[in-house]
A and B are shown apart, each in its own frame.
Chain A
Amino acid sequence: MTGIPLNIDFQQIMLHLFNFTILFGALYILLYKPVKNFMASREQYYADMDSRAEDALRSAEDSRRTYDDKLRAFDEEVRSEKAKLRKDLDAERDRRMADAKADAEKLLSDARTEANRQKDEIISSAQKEITDMVTDAMEKLTLEQSASDAFDQFLDAAEAGAEQQ
């Protein structure tokens, strides 16, 4: 094309443009896009891996928290169970002690009653024996011996009875 300085030729500009357009298309399809896609897929792969790791970490954290909660609840349950058992034990001990005390008092009272009863029995039997002895002695004195002898015998018999008691 004449008249344009520097030998500028529109046809050749268009040919250059055509050439470059084909190059652009080919490079985009063959090189740029596949490489970029691969880089994006790798980025996605590592992002997924990262998110999976974060999820696993979060889940482990949750599990640990749940475990801690359960452990705490269990401790609490054990503590409350212990307290309850201790309370029951105390109540049982008090009950048994009260029973034992009541039994002991009853035993003591029975023993005392029995002792009193035996004492009364002994006293009454002793009195009876004394009365019998006295009666015998009086009969003997009256019937067989003199009064003094009878009196002496009476005294001897009374002393013997007292010592026996």
Chain B
Amino acid sequence: MSKQERRKAIIVFAVLAAVFLAASILTGGDGAEEETIQQVMRDAVLHDLNKVSLFGMAVNPGLLAGVIVSSFLIIFALICRIFVIPRFKMVPGRFQLVLETVVGLFDNMAKGNSKINGFLGAYIFAAGAYIFTGTLFELFGVQAVTLGGHSISLPAPLSDINGAIMMGCLSYLVIMSGGIAGNGVRGIGKTLKEYSLPISLSFRLFGALLSGALVTELVYYYSSLSYVLPVLVGVLFTLLHALIQAYVLTMLTSLFYGQVSDNTPKPPKEKKGKRGARNTSAAAVS
């Protein structure tokens, strides 16, 4: 590309950007601010205003997002199964390497945390993929129409509290299954000792994703904040969240799974008598 052509391309790009900027300012009006920011925020947390229809049922937009994300993942897996996996080579190509790295990451995480790791690897793989893709889904701003006729951008599936509770409780059940597999009835007791786990797992996920959703909503609500800033916000609150939350939940699940399924007997604690303690302190003083 010569200098002249490059200059021309830059001018065209600048003109187009200016036109889109002017158009976005001129077309801004009451339509975009139909709901107040309080309503938007409240709905992002509670999902009680803008329900969407899923097979005739009024559900939170997060559930619809979850279904779309799951469908996307299943189609992706199906394509991989039909077209990619049969052509796997002993020396992997780039895409094969990505798939193997992801599967190997979760498999090793499961194996590294627990000796009895039946389906833990598969579970954290599915959970990680769901959280990561679901959080990234928010970035695409897929539109849906509410029962009230408004157009909304679908949120991350797990920014819906029901989705987060499902994930937290299911992870707790998986942890409990590890306890049963490793220690039988004692494993249930060990798991029940961590009674706060389903709540902490659920609300950690919900809080983390909701905070990202709220900030994004806030930024997109005001048109003056809609230039340049969304790029940073999108990267910080979506991409990082996607990675961090997927890692945190899968790591915590496998850690607790390993802890409750561990059946190695604990070494007996040494009891120090008064004399022994006195001798030790005397030795320390000397």
Contacts and interface: CB of A to CB of B under 8 A. Distances in A.
Interface of A: 6-9, 12-13, 15-17, 19-20, 22-24, 26-28, 30-36, 38-39, 42, 45
25 contacts: A7-B48, A9-B60, A13-B162, A15-B63, A16-B66, A16-B160, A17-B166, A19-B63, A19-B70, A20-B170, A24-B122, A24-B123, A27-B73, A27-B74, A27-B125, A27-B126, A27-B129, A28-B126, A31-B80, A32-B103, A32-B121, A32-B126, A35-B100, A39-B100, A39-B103
Contacts of B125: 27-28, 31-32
A35 B126 contact: no
B78 interface: yes
B74 A23 contact: yes
Contact of A36 (B46, B70, B73, B103): B103
Given A13-B165, A24-B123, A36-B103, 17 more contacts: A16-B166, A19-B66, A19-B67, A20-B170, A26-B73, A30-B78, A31-B80, A31-B81, A31-B99, A32-B103, A32-B126, A34-B81, A35-B85, A35-B100, A35-B103, A38-B85, A38-B88
B107 interface: yes
Contact of A12 (B60, B122, B130, B169): B60
**Interface range for B:** 35 or more
A8 B162 contact: yes
A22 B66 CA distance: 12
Given A6-B45, A39-B104, A16 B162 contact: yes
A81 to B, nearest CB: 56
Interface of B is mostly: helix
Contacts of A6: 45-46, 161
Interface string B62-95: 0100110010011001101100010010100000
A8, A26, A33: which has the most chain B beta carbons within 10 Å?
A26
Interface of A is mostly: helix
B212 interface: no
Contacts of A31: 77, 80-81, 85, 99, 103, 125
Interface string B141-185: 000000000000000010011110111011000000000000000
A15 B57 CA distance: 11
Contacts of B167: 16, 20
B59 interface: yes
A20 B103 contact: no
B126 A24 contact: yes
B190 interface: no
A20 B104 contact: no
Nearest to B80: A31
B29 to A, nearest CB: 31
B47 interface: yes
A32 B122 contact: yes
Nearest to A31: B77
Pick the 5 closest A-B CB pairs, nearest first: A30-B77, A16-B166, A24-B126, A12-B162, A23-B70
Nearest to A14: B166
A9 B54 CA distance: 15
Interface in B17-32: none
